[in-house]
Amino acid sequence: MSTYDGPASDHFNGTHFFDPDGAPPKKLGEVLRWQFGGGRQRATWPKWAPSPHADMPPPRVDGDKARLSFVGHVSWLIQTAGQNILIDPVWSDRASPLKFAGPRRVNDPGIAFEALPKIDTVLVSHGHYDHLDVATLSRLAGKFSPRVITPLGNDKTMRKADRTIRVEAFDWHDRADLGGGLAVTLVPTRHWTARGLFDRNEALWASFVLETPAGKIYVVCDSGYGDGGHFRRVRDAHGPLRLAILPIGAYEPRWFMKDQHMNPEDAVKALADCGAQQALAHHHSTFQLTDEAIDAPAAGLQVALDAAGIPRERFVALKPGQVAEI
C-alpha cells in the first residue's frame, strides 16, 4: 500500500512524488558502488565529540525577537511570538530504523529533552531517519501534544507508529497558520525520501518558510543545489528573508551526493540565491552519514565564504547548544 493516496499533480503521478526541477534518487547499484566499490576514502570520525555548550532555553520568547537554539544535526528550537517550534527533532541515539546499528550520534543534543520548554509546533521535513524520528515524536506527543506539520504521506508513517501524534500533512506551497502572527509555508526542495528499500518517494519532502515577527526564516533541512533555481524561486515568492538555515554537510563523495546534499560551496551559493540577510548552518558534526571528516563542513564553509567575498559572520556554523538571536 502506498504511503499517500491523492490526486495526481505536477509533482505526483498517482503513486510517487517527483521534483520536476530535481533529480531522482540514486539506484541500488549506485549505492552499492559507493559503499563497496574500490577507492572509497571514508574519514574516521571520533566515537565521541562532545560540544562544550548546553542550552537551557527560557519558557517563552515574546515580542518581535526570535531565539534559535541548535540542538544538533538538523534539529532546532525556534522561540518567537510566545511560541516554541521544533525543526526535525531527533533526540534518539541513532538515526536508523535499528536500535543496534546505523549512524550513531557523537554528541549529546544541545538541549536535554527534560530542559525543553512546552513545545507548540513541530515541523518535520521528510521521512529519512535523521529527520523523522518517531521515538522522539512519541516522546513529544506524550509530554506536550504539539501540532506536527509535515509534507504529504509522512503523516501515515507517524500515525502507524503512534496514533497520539497530532500530525497534519500539507502539499508544496500550502500555508499553515500557527496563530499569534506565525505561519509556515511548505516549499519545494531538491531531495527525495524513503523509510525502506521499496517506498522511495511515496511521501513528499519540503523546506519551510516560517513567518515570524522577527522576519521570515527559510529552513532548508536537506537539499542539493542543482542550478540554484529552488532558492531563487523562494526569494521571488517569499522574500525578503531575514534568515536562512542551510545544510552544509553529508556531501562526499560528490558523484553520489551532489543531487541531494549541498557542500559548503553550494550552500554559500544558495545563500546568495535566496538573498537572506544572514544564515546559520546545520546538517553537520553529529551523525556520520557520508565520507567527509567531522570538521570538514564547518572548515569548508569559512573557505567558501572567503572565496565568495562574504563576511564569515553572515553565515555561521554553530555547535550543539549554541544560540543565535535575531
Is 2 within the bounds of a domain? Answer: no
Q: Determine the pLDDT at residue 234.
A: 98
Three-class SS state of 176:
strand
Is 218 within the bounds of a domain? Answer: yes
112-143 residues labelled b (16+ CB within 10 A) or e (exposed): eeeebbebbbbbbbbbbbbbbbbebbebbbee
- Retrieve residue 213's grid coordinates: 515577527
Structural domain harbouring 101? 53-325
- Pairing status of strand 215-219 against strand 75-80: unpaired
Read off the pLDDT of residues 221-239 as tens digits, 9 standing for 90 and up: 999 999 999 999 999 999 9
C-alpha 307/C-alpha 62 separation (Å) is: 38
Report residue 314: phi and psi, to 5°: -80, -20
What is the band of 40 on the pLDDT scale with cuts at 50, 70, 90? confident
Is 16 within the bounds of a domain? Answer: no
Three-class SS state of 142:
helix
Is 188 within the bounds of a domain? Answer: yes
Q: Any idea what the CATH number is for the domain that residue 196 is in? A: 3.60.15.10
Residue 49 predicted with pLDDT over 70: yes
Three-class SS state of 313:
helix
**Which residue type occupies 218?**
Y
For the chain, give the number of residues: 326
Read off the pLDDT of residues 283-326 as tens digits, 9 standing for 90 and up: 999 999 999 999 999 999 999 999 999 999 999 999 999 999 99
Is 30 within the bounds of a domain? Answer: no
Cis previous bond, 117, omega within 30? no
What is the band of 109 on the pLDDT scale with cuts at 50, 70, 90? very high
Beta bridge partner(s), residue 184 = 176, 210
| Alpha carbon 25 to chain centroid, angstroms | 17
Report residue 249: phi and psi, to 5°: -120, 180
Is 251 within the bounds of a domain? Answer: yes
Q: Determine the pLDDT at residue 3.
A: 82
Query: Edge-to-edge, what's the strand order for the sheet holding 121-123?
Result: 166-170, 147-151, 121-123, 83-87, 75-80, 66-72, 323-325
Q: Determine the pLDDT at residue 198.
A: 87
Beta bridge partner(s), residue 219 = 208, 245
Q: Determine the pLDDT at residue 36.
A: 85
Question: Is residue 149 classed exposed, middle or buried when 0-12, 13-18 and 19+ CB atoms within 10 A define those classes?
Answer: buried
Is 9 within the bounds of a domain? Answer: no
Three-class SS state of 97:
coil
pTM: predicted TM-score of the whole model, two decimal places = 0.97
Residue 84 predicted with pLDDT over 90: yes
How many folded domains does the chain comprise? 1
DSSP state of 260: T
C-alpha 38/C-alpha 179 separation (Å) is: 54
Cis previous bond, 89, omega within 30? no
Is 160 within the bounds of a domain? Answer: yes
